[in-house]
Structure 1
Amino acid sequence: MTSFRQLRADLLLVSPIYCSEFLRGYSELLSGAGVRHVSVAGAGVFTGSAAEARMRGHALAGTIETYRLSFESGGSMTGRFLVTRLDYSGDFGGERTYTLALESSGAVVAA
């Protein structure tokens, strides 16, 4: 498992507007409709794990894969994500750190 120093998850829900009401000067959001989207950003220290190698491979290939994300609070979420950003940094002779961003593709289940 990858260890994150910092992890942030945002849930974005965009609902369509009921057009006939919009034309009367106001809009009404429809419950249960629209687009659900989860963005996750994290940062950590590379440990050389197999999970990190797989994630790097997914980022370079642009593949959507299933991830189980665990948070320090004990919660987790599982879903299919695309690695949209993977940045490396580090000093000569020091530890290598990374930041990453994941975007959901399909349903995400919180546990």
Structure 2
Amino acid sequence: MGNGYDSTTGVFTCPNAGTYAFLVHGVSTATSQLNLDIYRNNNYTVSVFAHIHNGYASGHQSIVLQLDEQDAVFVQGRGVNSMYGSSHEIYSTFSGFLVAPTQLPPSNPNQGLIG
């Protein structure tokens, strides 16, 4: 919804300024670890890590960001990563939603004044 997410690139480009929440969930393969980083405009924000010896592991992360119009948010793998799943078994996700739009100042500077 909102047409901000490009599924071919995996990048969310903010259509409207505001406060957004993003959630990332990943599952590693049974023999590897998972390292994912969340970026805002090519600036690192937080990471997801999952690892367990001889078994599948899952990692989760959420973040709330104040975004300007056209800011970009995306997830990038770091190091050697193996995510479990296939095109018909999706266990790793990246999602986000608008919490609150940025309030624009009134167009009339006297609007809202009491007196």
TM-score by length of 2: 0.28
Question: Which has more strand, going by share of residues?
Answer: 1
Q: Larger relative contact order (C-alpha < 8 A, sep ≥ 6)?
A: 2
Question: Which has more helix, going by share of residues?
Answer: 1
TM-score by length of 1: 0.29
